[in-house]
Amino acid sequence: MGILVVGSVAFDSVETPFGKMDSILGGSATYFSTSASFFTDVSLVAVVGDDFQEEHIDFLRSRNIDLTGLSRVNGKTFHWKGKYGYDLNEAQTLETHLNVFESFKPVIPALYAGADYLFLANIDPELQMEVLNQMQKPRVVACDTMNFWISSKREALKKVVERVDILIINEGEARQFTGEANLVKAAKSILAMGAKTLIIKRGEYGVLMFTDSTIFAAPAYPLEEVFDPTGAGDTFAGGFMGYLANTGDTSEEGIRQAIIFGSVMASFNVEDFSLNRLKKLDYKEIESRYRGFKKMTHFEGLSSR
Ligand code: AMP
């Protein structure tokens, strides 16, 4: 049971207090698919320009990611330029060049339309909707977005949220999207739009999951070295969806475990720029950090007196 992901494949220029990198491999679908590939089969739909280097394609192939849906067209690859201050939780977007994404019309290959798991990574919500309309009957649809689309395409985004099972967004975006400063109120308002599960990412403070009947909180893994938070959200989503697709278990317990796998993957990603840490990662390290999470969050119930 594999996953289909549609999102950006990009060049990022990133500045953090620990260094600066120009035109490195990035993009929401790149981080997502690489992370999910540790758990399940992934097919990617996106577009790149003729400046996209073969070594990046080779890397995605080496992760067994199906690239039938990755089109290469004349023009420049999507380019995002961002900066982080010492508070690494909030990216400041300096420049967004949609480039080849400006005229991109996602066509879902017939082979992918029956996928059980669909992730609409951060791209134009109108494109997310076009993809959703081409799918047969996915079992789980999750989606992400960002401030750029919340301010420029709010109505289109609302229509997407009406139709997804799981929305995964940052806390600032949840506030911006709903106009509610309080996260519990923001969550209620998003669930009322139609999403059945909401996952709010809170950077180094972890994630909160809301459904109509429950709340689950997971911390982020405490790390001494954090270099670049870019892609943490997409890497989280990749681990989360990858684990769900691998087990097929969408019970509350299964979703909680998937949230921890997502958090584990994100914690590795921020240890280096671009996808450099994921490139070196092996599954044993993932399992070991999962156990670390369990230990870190365990506490006893009330004893009966
Ligand atoms: P994250 O840090 O997980 O929220 O996502 C970072 C990735 O999102 C970067 O690698 C960017 O290339 C990509 N990105 C930034 N802005 C946009 C946008 N407007 N649409 C699609 N992808 C974007």
Question: pLDDT tens for residues 170-223?
Answer: 999 999 999 999 999 999 999 999 999 999 999 999 999 999 999 999 999 999
- Ligand 1 atom with minimal separation from the 229 CA: 2
pLDDT at 1 over 60: no
CA of 238 to the centre of ligand 1 (A): 14
CB 46 within 8 A of CB 69: yes
CA of 53 to the centre of ligand 1 (A): 19
CA of 148 to the centre of ligand 1 (A): 10
d(CA 86, CA 282): 29
Average model confidence (pLDDT) across the chain: 96
Q: Which residue's alpha carbon is at the smallest distance from atom 21 of ligand 1?
A: 123
In the prediction, which pLDDT does 303 show? 86
Cβ–ligand 1 distance for 26 under 6 Å, the answer yes
CA of 10 to the centre of ligand 1 (A): 8
Mean pLDDT to the nearest integer, 31-60: 98
In the prediction, which pLDDT does 261 show? 98
In the prediction, which pLDDT does 100 show? 97
| DSSP structural state of residue 64 | T
d(CA 191, CA 89): 24
For the chain, domains (ranges, CATH) are 3-84+92-297 (3.40.1190.20)
Q: What is the DSSP string of 87-136?
A: -TT--EEEEEE-GGGGG------GGGTT-SEEEE-SS-HHHHHHHHHH-S
- Which of 25, 28, 100, 270 maximizes ligand 1 atoms within 8 Å of its Cβ, making it the mutation to test the pocket? 28
Residue range 81-138, pLDDT digits in tens? 999 998 888 889 999 999 999 999 999 989 899 999 999 999 999 999 999 999 999 9
d(CA 187, CA 282): 35
Residue range 242-290, pLDDT digits in tens? 999 999 999 999 999 999 999 999 999 999 999 999 999 999 999 999 9
CA of 302 to the centre of ligand 1 (A): 43
Residue range 283-303, pLDDT digits in tens? 999 999 999 999 999 999 998
pLDDT at 305 over 80: no
